Amino acid sequence: MLARLLFKIRFARLLLVCIGIFSVGVNAQTELKPSPINVSVMVPVEKGTPFWGDFESFMTAVAKDLNMQLTFFRFPLEKTNRFSFIRRFTELTKQSDKPDYIVSVFKVGVEPQLVKLAEQAKIGFVSVNAALSKELYKQIGHPQQHSRYWLAHVAHDNVKAGQQLVDLLVNQAMNYTLPGEQINILGITGPSHSYVAKQRQQGLVEGVKKYKNVNLLEVVHSDWESKKAVKQASLFLKQPDPVDIVWTASDSIAAGVYMAQKTLNKDSAPLIVGGFDWSETSFELLDKGYNYYSLGGHFMDGGWALILLYDHFFGYDIVRKRKGIYNTELSSIDAVNQQQIHTWIRERKWDSVEFTKFTQTHNPDILKNGYKFELAMHHALPVIVKEKKQSGL
């Protein structure tokens, strides 16, 4: 269905060029598709999760500007394993009313199957949220290299992000220790089946190796919620050896650490904690005065995926020189900048953004110079996606 539709659109564009009325940036192109572009979105959690709530909200704002109809498919916590995921993905590709495109995370161990299913169903597919390893790229190639329908991949580098958080926390800890004094760090990562958790953990381990005076006590697996993290953090905070830093894989896990500290009546001791997501939980921790740091901004990845799909729908090249890989970068919030960023997220400032300007279809500058996925937030939201050469892949 998608292949036939793309042929008709490309033929229509060619016809417009031939009669001299086609030009990039005019609205004539959108008239080729008066009905919405249907996109199914696979979200690996149930509704109401802080990070994925922002993920869906941002996608919805982008979709509204681009005349896209989104359908979200969510999973209860107990059914987020790869078997349930591949089963639902299979059902989606085989239903009678197929979507034009799919946006989905990759699940560890079933990435080749997801690519194959999209190819068999002839449905364009963009993967998001977790950077892929070099080994996996060797196995399945780059987007559109071996599979015509795996169109692109949009994600931050979790290994790099894990290292980034280590650097941030260690630099803060040095303000409370003597030069060369040992700094003890505890790692609490996500579920063992999570690709994101594994990569962030790898970044933690590699990041600690750079520092001679930093001792990694242990790395334990949690889920993405606070309850289990309370028990795990309590075991270590009770020990006589001090814990200076707790590196966590999410804001919710970090909240569990502070709960444990309070339960043990140790909340007066300096404890530096870091996590990911820029969720509402991170702002609550900072409002309470905790020495907390969160890396985030990647909830926008799904929205950027829609930009790529929109251009693909209208026949533009979204692979170009980047092999279909769009690496995003995370920024940090702390006590200094949290109010500015919190206001921007809480008030959904992205609703006022004209996202058509991010597309090749409507912006000649993007067509000429490539995508620049960034937003201005009170005059200065850090760059979320940088056009840079992919090395080592």
Residue 374: inside a domain: no
| Positions of the chain with pLDDT lower than 50, given as ranges | 2, 7-31, 377-393
Residue 339: inside a domain: no
| pLDDT value for 227 | 81
Q: State pTM to two decimals.
A: 0.77
| pLDDT value for 179 | 83
Residue 391: inside a domain: no
Neighbour-count burial of 81, counting CB atoms closer than 10 A to its CB (0-12 exposed, 13-18 middle, 19+ buried): middle
pLDDT per residue as tens digits for the range 292-317? 999 999 999 999 999 999 999 999 99
| pLDDT value for 33 | 54
Residues 106 and 88 in one domain: yes
| pLDDT value for 330 | 87
How far is the C-alpha of 272 from the C-alpha of 204, rounded, in Å? 15
**Angle formed by the axes of helices 251-263 and 50-65, nearest 10°:** 150
Residues 34 and 152 in one domain: yes
Distances (CA, A) of 295 to 100, 153, 171, 277, 320: 33, 21, 15, 6, 29
Q: What SS3 state is found at 378?
A: coil
| pLDDT value for 27 | 36
How far is the C-alpha of 293 from the C-alpha of 254, rounded, in Å? 10
Q: What SS3 state is found at 391?
A: coil
Last-in-domain residue among 296, 323, 357: 296
Residue by residue, DSSP assigns 271-314 as: -EEEEES--HHHHHHHHTT--EEEEE-GGGHHHHHHHHHHHHHT
Residues 10 and 128 in one domain: yes
CB 85 within 8 A of CB 110: yes
Distances (CA, A) of 53 to 56, 101, 228, 347, 384: 5, 21, 22, 14, 19
Distances (CA, A) of 61 to 29, 269, 279, 381: 21, 43, 18, 18
Residues 54 and 164 in one domain: no
Alpha helix ranges (H) inside the chain:
2-18, 50-65, 82-94, 111-121, 134-140, 158-173, 195-208, 226-237, 251-263, 280-287, 301-313, 338-346, 364-369
Give the domain CATH number at 268: 3.40.50.2300
Residues 70 and 197 in one domain: no
Residue 170: inside a domain: yes
Host domain of residue 64: 2-156+298-331+348-369
What six digits make up the tokens of 153?
A: 């991949």
**Single-letter amino acid, residue 142:** H
Residues 169 and 287 in one domain: yes
pLDDT per residue as tens digits for the range 9-46? 444 444 433 433 333 333 334 445 568 999 999 998 88
Residue 386: inside a domain: no
| pLDDT value for 25 | 34
Residues 139 and 73 in one domain: yes
Residues in a beta bridge with 218: 186
